[in-house]
Structure 1
Amino acid sequence: MLEGTHVALGVTGSIAAVKTVELAHELRRHGARVRAVTTDAARGIVHPWALQFATDARPVTELTGAVEHVELCGREGWADVLLIAPATANTVGKVAAAVDDTPVTTCATTALGADVPVVVAPAMHEPMYDHPGVLDAIDRVESWGVDFVDPRIEEGKAKIASEDAIVTAVARATTPDPLAGRHVVVTSGATTESVDPIRTLSNRASGRTGRAVARACHVRGADVTLVHDGPAVHYADVRAVESAAEMIDAVSAAVAGDDPADALVSAAAISDFTVERAGEKIRSGEPITLELEPTPKLLDAVRADHPGLAMVGFKAETGGDDEAMIERARRLRDRVDLAFVVANDASVMGGDDTRALVVDADDVDRFRGSKGGLGRRVADRLATILD
């Protein structure tokens, strides 16, 4: 997601600086090259040697006649983005006032003047974060195009955002945004049908592919609504659902809401059958017969109400026969008038990697790799359709 991206990592004097070693590792795991810049206060919390180990580059701890801030963040500088993580209230206020009295704030002044993207991850005690002056400073800096990664408010502290959220924000700041201004609705994971108050019918879908698509669309500038039976995520507005009927209702509402959708990507493994739910727990020990009823098809339901909507479908198959997968994907595409269909091998459900065939009217794009990579492939193809 950050392959070849140069990240200047500004570290300031929050106790959250202890997390920057792992953050630097995480940025590098996603393909970035990282160089650290520290304030004097940060050096009292995390040793420059630790940052050198984490980044494989000597950190900038003072500015000299080598004008390190220009070499890093100037118009012809090394960095593609300046990430200040953690950012103290003191640093945020200085950036807003163009006070550059530390290596980090001087890099910020330089980056903002040179149109280098800046991402800020605040970390401080909650009362400091709620200070009117700090909030005004955040608003002012955001108005300049700086991206703030919201902290986690816990235990009276505005704790630094998760590494995943920070990496995603850096990717969004440094990736072309062909989906900017677009609203994309994505479905993900399994749905679950209640048999009784305790038991359910479901499937093995993990939701990783759908979440990867949602994240990739967000990184490319889209506003994303994610409909799934899963947790909140930092890159999308989540509509929580459980059953197939709930998913259809939630998707229909999201597509036709105050901000109508430009596209729907239906990556969820939606239950094909439901069952009449028993009001009490079904007693064990005796054979039972469940009468399964087919559920409505989400893509058909949405297409009936939105004939012009760009839609992408997923089709999971178990046979492993590429030609059969392509034929069934094309039948689905033609029946519902989809932009393209991703035919995937059901044997990869739950894994980190996948094998898929991206099928449209004219050709087949064969993909093998990570589910994150497939999400990026789908988002890029969707961007060309909406262009």
Structure 2
Amino acid sequence: MLEGVNVALGVTGSIAAVKTVELAHELRRQGAAVRGVMTGSAGGIIHPWAVEFATENEVVTEITGSVEHVELCGYDGWADVLLIAPATANTVGKIASAVDDTPVTTCATTALGADTPIVIAPAMHEPMYDHPGVLEAIETVEEWGVEFVDPRIEEGKAKIASEEAIVADVARAAGDRPLEGDHVVVTSGATSESIDPVRVITNRSSGKMGRAVANACYVRGADVTLVHDGPDVPYADVREVESADEMLAATRAACDDADALVSAAAIGDYTVETSDEKIRSGQELTLELEPTPKLIDEIRSARPDLPIVGFKTETSGDEPAMIEQARTTLERADLAFVVANDASVMGADRTSALLVHAGDVARYEGSKAGLGSEIAASIAAVLESSTPTN
């Protein structure tokens, strides 16, 4: 996600600085090169040597005659993005007032002047976060184009955002945004049909692929709605659903103003009449299954011109058969393209897939995150080609 991106990591004097080492490791795991910049207060919480170890680079703890702030964040500086995590109320206020009395705030002023992207992850006690002056400072800095990663409000504290949220916002700030201003709806994971209050009919989909697509679209600038039976994620507006009917209703509502739909969910093909009480075990039981509506057909009927990406999962392992089935779906619902794969990749982190377009087929093998990036890039190309030119 961050391959080739240089991140200057500013660390200030919040207790959340203890998380800096793992954050630096995660940035590097995602492909970034990282150099640390620390305030004196931060050095009282975590030793600069720990940050040096985590980044494998020397840490800036003071601004010297080498003008480290300019070398890092100035015109043609080393950094592609300045990430301040954690950022205290004190630091946010100083940035808003152009006060340069620490290496971190001096780098921030320099980055703002040089138009180097800045991402800030605040961390402080909740009453400090609610202070009118702090809120005003955040609003001021946001108006200058700085991205804030919202903290998690827990136990009376505005805790630093998750590594997943910070990494996604860094990638969004540092990269191109071909989906800026577009609303992409993604369905993901399995649906469940209730047999009784205890039992359900479902499938083995983990939702990893759909979440990877949602993340990749967010990184490319999109506003993302994720419809799934799964956890909240920091990069999307989540609509939580369980059954196929609930997923269809939520997706239909989300697509009212959508620019594209990615139907990655493994939606149950059948539903069953639900018993109000638990069915007792030990008896022979026959379930009468009824087919569920096809989501992509329903959305296509409501939005004839909406670009829709479909997924087609098969179990044969026969590539020509997979392509044939994908093309049948592509033509029936007038889809932008179809991602075809084998059921064996369900739940795995890696995948192999065929991106079936009207005129060609592209093969992909690698991580689901990588495939999500390929799909997001293809969506951007589809939307660009469908935009009228003057």
The residue number in structure 1 matching 2:143 is 143
Q: For residues 111-146 of structure 1, what are the alpha-carbon distances to aligned partners after superposition, in whole Å with 9 as ceiling and x for unaligned?
A: 000000000000001111010000000000000000
Residue aligning to 2:387: none
Q: What is the CA distance between 1:175 and its match in structure 2?
A: 1.3
Are 1:265 and 2:270 an aligned pair?
no
**Structure 2 residue identity aligned to 1:332:** T
Superposed displacement of residue 233, structure 1 = 1.0
1:344 Cα offset (Å): 1.2
Q: 1:232: Cα distance to partner? A: 1.2
Aligned residue pairs: how many? 384
Given residue 338 of structure 1, which amino acid in structure 2 is its aligned partner?
L
Equivalent residue, structure 2, for 1:288: 285
Letter in 2 for 1:266: S
Show the counterpart of 1:322. 319
Match of 1:114 in 2: 114
After superposition, what is the alpha-carbon deviation per residue over 1:226-259, rounded to whole angstroms, capped at 9, x for unaligned? 1000111111111111000111111111111xxx
Find the aligned partners of 2:300 and 2:342 in 1 and give their Cα distance: 25
The offset of 1:305, in angstroms, is: 1.1
Aligned amino acid, residue 199 of structure 1: R
Aligned partners of 1:171 and 1:59: how far apart in 2? 22
What's the offset of the Cα at 1:297?
A: 0.3
Q: Does 1:193 align with 2:190?
A: no
1:370 to 367, 375, 380: 367
What amino acid sits opposite 2:366 in the alignment?
G
Please report how far the alpha carbon of residue 214 of structure 1 lies from its aligned counterpart in structure 2 after TM superposition: 0.6
What secondary structure does 1:281 align onto? coil
Residue type at the aligned position of 1:309: L
The whole-number CA distance in structure 2 between the counterparts of 1:56 and 1:171 is: 21
Counterpart residue number, 1:18: 18
2:351 is aligned to 354
Distance 1:223 1:76 in 2: 30
Which whole-Å deviations, capped at 9, do the CAs of 1:40-77 have from their partners, x for residues lacking one? 00000110110010000010011110000000000111
Mapped to 2, the partners of 1:250 and 1:50 lie a distance apart of: 46
**For the residues of structure 2 that align with 1:328 and 1:283, how far apart are their CA atoms?**
40
2:74 matched residue in structure 1? 74
1:299 to 2:296 alignment? yes
Runs of at least 4 residues off by over 3 Å:
none
Residue 49 of structure 2: SS of its match in structure 1? helix
Residue 290 of structure 2: SS of its match in structure 1?
strand
Note the 1:124-273 alignment, pairs <5 A. Answer: 124-256=124-256, 260-273=257-270
Aligned counterpart, 2:57: 57
2:274 aligned with 1:277: yes
Give, as a single letter, the amino acid of the residue that structure 1 aligns with 2:67: V
In 1, distance between residues paired with 2:29 and 2:47? Answer: 22
| Matching residue of 1:37 | 37
> Percent identity over the alignment?
72
Report the Cα offset of residue 196 of structure 1: 0.6
Question: Residues 323-373 of structure 1, C-alpha deviation per residue, up to 9 Å, x if partnerless?
Answer: 111110000000000000000111010011111100011111101111101
Counterpart-to-counterpart distance in 1, 2:34 and 2:255: 40
Please report how far the alpha carbon of residue 9 of structure 1 lies from its aligned counterpart in structure 2 after TM superposition.
0.2
CA distance in structure 2 between the aligned counterparts of 1:280 and 1:298, rounded to whole angstroms: 29
SS of residue in 2 equivalent to 1:365 = strand
Q: Which amino acid aligns with 1:109?
A: T
- Shift of residue 279 of structure 1? 1.3
In structure 2, distance between residues paired with 1:324 and 1:138: 55
Structure 1 letter corresponding to 2:246 = E
CA distance in 2, matches of 1:75, 1:317: 52
- In structure 2, list runs of 5 or more residues that go unmatched: 385-390
After superposition, the CA RMSD in angstroms is 0.5
Cα shift at 1:319: 1.1
2:253 corresponds to which letter in structure 1?
Answer: A
CA distance in structure 2 between the partners assigned to 1:76 and 1:250 by the alignment: 46
Distance 2:305 2:72 in 1: 47
Q: Give the letter aligned to residue 65 of structure 2.
A: G
Where 2:331 maps in the other structure, the secondary structure is: helix
Q: What is the deviation of 1:284?
A: 0.4
Alpha-carbon distance in structure 1 between the residues aligned to 2:109 and 2:336:
45
Secondary structure at 1:166 match in 2? helix
- In the alignment, the residues of structure 1 paired with residue 166 and residue 155 of structure 2 have an alpha-carbon distance, to the nearest angstrom, of 21
| 2:210 match: secondary structure | helix
SS in 1 for 2:225: strand
Shift of 1:215: 0.7
2:83 partner letter:
L
**TM-score, structure 2 normalization:** 0.98
Q: Distance in 1 between matches of 2:96 and 2:127?
A: 19
